[in-house]
């Protein structure tokens, strides 16, 4: 609640608008009651003609129109506040996820992050669009009504002052339970979203292993848990509404009883005063009751806000870039005691020292889980070092502008991500600016995919599905290569690009890589002996440690574990 209040108060312009509108709404409610009472009193008690009360009817119409306009403006201001806050929250979450994409992807399921980004942020809406405007309105309108009633009948005003506090007291009691149940509901929704997306992405694997039915039951149970949590929240809301109605009706009845006795039996009140009070009393309690309903939704928003702030405040190693310009030429990269750890007890890459010269071919080699991909992430600037540094042309990598560095870098993973759209659009992503069709075709030809594309009925305008559905693994790799040829980077990183490819596709990729190496430094996470042997330098990793560096022959002579790995590939003695 405190965080949301601070955000609301920071929007001073909107807050002042809400204050002014609330004062105007309070005045027009009193004015509406006055005109109604005046018309009834003049027509039915004083027997005046229609023409005599026509000015009062005109006044009533104007007041009703004004009330509608002010109420609409009040609602629109709240919606405007909510839209701004939601945009800021989504921007902050996206910045957090995009600043450290690798770290973000390792923590929690994608579906849970989507749920926070969409559902939890949407849940914030009701606090700003309903609760906060109503809170301001309820702090002003009932006071104006009370002043008007005290000016006519102090006894009715006193009864209202005594009974009114029961509504906020009840709101506080119910509100704490509502927030807890709303937080539980958001947790269930996040769990359901995470499981559903996770299972959907791995549906083929589950089918092949005969686990689809079991996971269907998991989704069903997760859905039922979310339904139960939602129904519990709704039950609380309905009980809250019932109790608020009961308190309001009882309070109005007490005032009506007092007014009736003093008007009919004791004759202490005039008809004008009694009718004026009876019209304003429901307005008074209706304002409090609406705050009670808005308070319930506001407490629900607080549960969502807690989830968002937990996500935003989760500690990560930030990637902070500098402002130094990077020269547009092949670069020298140095790793000086570079280390990285995934969390406090996760895998760590430790104390890596190496120099990568311009236009050289470097192979990063090691058994599965040795830290090859992590080292590639360090070199790319996707993650920061926890100790030591990566230097580029003698300066720390993160001293450079982020755009300058990534303009000179291409990263091709085992499974490059292709977006839903045309093949041409997916290749064009690699360009530094809007690429022409001729440039896209030239890049595709160099990547060895042009012939395949031209055989398609719609050629480069052929649409592919999300994640490259419709293309084979080798075709996706070649689209990624086409992106690199279009970009013309000075550094190209490959993460085991030939894994699982047939011999012909691998030869095409090797030929393309060779062409890229003429103008760029090539750093490859390698497993094929052919790639390793041809490298200018090999970095051999084991359990996050750099066991050796040098050429193939140098490592064969100096690192026993490297000899064993090569021997295992050759099926015999490595030499």
If one counts every other C-beta atom within 10 angstroms of the C-beta of residue 42, the result is: 16
CATH number of 333-570: 3.40.50.300
- Mean pLDDT value across residues 22-35: 95
Give residue 291's pLDDT: 78
pLDDT in tens, 348-373: 888 899 999 999 999 999 888 888 88
CATH 1.20.1560.10 matches 2-313: yes
Cα 343 to Cα 339: distance, rounded to the nearest angstrom: 13
Band (pLDDT 50/70/90 cuts) for residue 55 is: very high
pLDDT in tens, 513-538: 788 888 889 998 877 777 788 889 99
Is 17 a residue whose pLDDT tops 90?
A: yes
Give residue 76's pLDDT: 93
Give residue 110's pLDDT: 59
Tokens of residue 57, six digits: 């009817």
Cβ-contact 478, 396 below 8 angstroms? no
* For the ranges 246-255, 274-283, 419-428, the one whose mean pLDDT is highest: 274-283
Cα 275 to Cα 43: distance, rounded to the nearest angstrom: 14
- Mean pLDDT value across residues 501-520: 78
Is 470 a residue whose pLDDT tops 60?
A: yes
Q: Compute the residue count for the chain.
A: 575
pTM of the model: 0.60
Cα–Cα–Cα angle for 244, 247, 253, rounded to 5 degrees: 135
Band (pLDDT 50/70/90 cuts) for residue 474 is: confident
pLDDT in tens, 388-422: 999 999 899 999 998 888 888 888 887 788 888 88
Is 502 a residue whose pLDDT tops 70?
A: no
- Bridge partners for 409 per DSSP: 491
Tokens of residue 503, six digits: 């011999």
Give residue 19's pLDDT: 94
Give residue 334's pLDDT: 93
User: Out of 91-95, 138-142, 203-207, which region has the weakest mean confidence (pLDDT)?
Assistant: 203-207
Is 61 a residue whose pLDDT tops 90?
A: yes
Mean pLDDT over all residues of the chain? 82
Domain boundaries, the chain: 2-313, 333-570
- Mean pLDDT value across residues 295-313: 74
Give residue 154's pLDDT: 92
Give residue 209's pLDDT: 61
Cα 426 to Cα 483: distance, rounded to the nearest angstrom: 8
- Mean pLDDT value across residues 240-268: 85
Band (pLDDT 50/70/90 cuts) for residue 335 is: very high
């Amino acid at each position: 609640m405190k965080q949301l209040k601070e955000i609301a108060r920071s929007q001073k312009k909107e807050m002042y608008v809400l204050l002014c509108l609330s004062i105007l709404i309070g005045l027009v409610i009193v004015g509406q009651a006055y005109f109604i009472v005046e018309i009834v009193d003049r027509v039915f008690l004083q027997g005046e003609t229609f023409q005599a009360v026509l000015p009062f009817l005109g006044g009533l119409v104007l007041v009703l129109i004004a009330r509608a306009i002010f109420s609409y403006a009040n609602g629109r201001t709240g919606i405007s506040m909510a839209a701004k806050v939601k945009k800021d929250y989504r921007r902050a979450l996206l910045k957090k996820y995009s600043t450290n994409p690798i770290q973000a992807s390792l923590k929690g399921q994608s579906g849970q992050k989507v749920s926070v980004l969409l559902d939890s942020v949407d849940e914030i809406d009701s606090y700003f669009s309903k609760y906060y405007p109503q809170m301001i309105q309820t702090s002003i309108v009932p006071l104006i009504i009370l002043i008007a009633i005290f000016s006519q009948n102090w006894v009715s005003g006193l009864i209202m002052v005594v009974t009114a506090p029961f509504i906020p007291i009840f709101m506080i009691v119910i509100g704490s339970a509502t927030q807890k149940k709303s937080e539980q509901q958001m947790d269930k929704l996040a769990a359901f979203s995470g499981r559903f997306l996770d299972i959907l992405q791995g549906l083929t694997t589950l089918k092949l292993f005969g686990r689809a039915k079991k996971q269907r039951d998991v989704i069903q149970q997760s859905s039922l848990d979310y339904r139960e949590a939602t129904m519990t929240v709704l039950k609380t809301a309905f009980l809250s509404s019932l109790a608020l109605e009961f308190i309001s009706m009882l309070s109005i009845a007490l005032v009506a009883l007092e007014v009736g006795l003093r008007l009919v039996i004791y004759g202490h009140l005039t008809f004008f005063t009694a009718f004026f009070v009876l019209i304003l009393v429901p307005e008074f309690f209706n304002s409090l009751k609406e705050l009670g309903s808005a308070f319930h939704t506001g407490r629900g928003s607080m549960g969502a806000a807690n989830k968002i702030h937990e996500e935003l405040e989760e500690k990560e190693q930030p990637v902070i870039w500098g402002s130094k310009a990077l020269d547009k030429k092949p670069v020298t990269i140095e790793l000086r005691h570079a280390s990285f750890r995934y969390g406090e007890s996760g895998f760590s890459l430790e104390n890596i020292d190496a120099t990568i010269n311009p236009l050289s071919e470097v192979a990063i080699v090691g058994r599965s889980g040795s830290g090859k991909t992590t080292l590639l992430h360090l070199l790319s600037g996707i993650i920061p070092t926890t100790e030591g540094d990566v230097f580029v042309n003698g300066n720390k990598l993160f001293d450079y502008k982020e755009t300058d560095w990534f303009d000179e870098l291409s990263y091709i993973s085992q499974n490059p991500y292709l977006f839903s759209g045309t093949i041409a659009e997916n290749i064009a992503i690699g360009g530094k600016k809007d690429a022409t069709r001729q440039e896209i075709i030239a890049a595709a030809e160099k990547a060895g995919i042009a012939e395949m594309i031209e055989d398609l009925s719609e050629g480069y305008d052929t649409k592919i599905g999300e994640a490259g559905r419709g293309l084979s693994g080798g075709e996706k790799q070649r689209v990624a290569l086409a992106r690199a040829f279009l970009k013309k980077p000075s550094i190209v990183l490959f993460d085991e690009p030939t894994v699982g490819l047939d011999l012909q596709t691998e030869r095409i990729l090797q030929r393309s890589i060779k062409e890229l190496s003429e103008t760029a430094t090539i750093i490859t996470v390698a497993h094929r002996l052919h790639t390793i042997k041809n490298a200018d330098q090999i970095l051999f990793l084991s359990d996050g440690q750099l066991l050796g560096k040098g050429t193939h022959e140098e490592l064969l002579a100096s690192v026993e574990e490297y000899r064993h790995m090569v021997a295992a590939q050759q099926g015999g003695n490595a030499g």
